[in-house]
Amino acid sequence: MARGGVWAQCVPRMSTMKRSESRILEDALKLPPEARAAIAGSLLDSLDQSPDPDAEAAWEAEITKRIRDLDGQKVTPIPWSEARRAIVGGE
């Protein structure tokens, strides 16, 4: 069951997992991408116990810049499927 870079990174860690943890990961990897993304987000949120106090302002500034770049046609948006293919496929 090859899943690209993410799966390859998980395989070495799986050898140290309990069987139940390994099974959860295997089952999660069978889910549709949207469901896996939601689970990943929830898991990451559960690790964030002490958020950076400046993070909110930094994200706000970044979002404002990106909207300005889009509105000013400085960048051309592409569909997520195309971006993902470039990221995962190494294009």
Q: Model confidence over 2-51: pLDDT tens digits?
A: 444 555 555 555 566 788 888 999 999 999 999 999 999 999 888 877 77
Q: Where are the domains of the chain?
A: 1-49, 50-91
d(CA 26, CA 11): 10
Give the CA distances from residue 62 to residues 66, 67, 75, 79, in Å, rounded to whole numbers and listed in that order.
6, 9, 14, 20
Are 5 and 90 spatial neighbours (Cβ–Cβ below 8 Å)?
Answer: no
Owner of token pair 């964030």: 48
What tens digit of pLDDT does each residue of 61-83 get? Answer: 999 999 999 999 999 999 999 99
Are 53 and 59 spatial neighbours (Cβ–Cβ below 8 Å)?
Answer: no
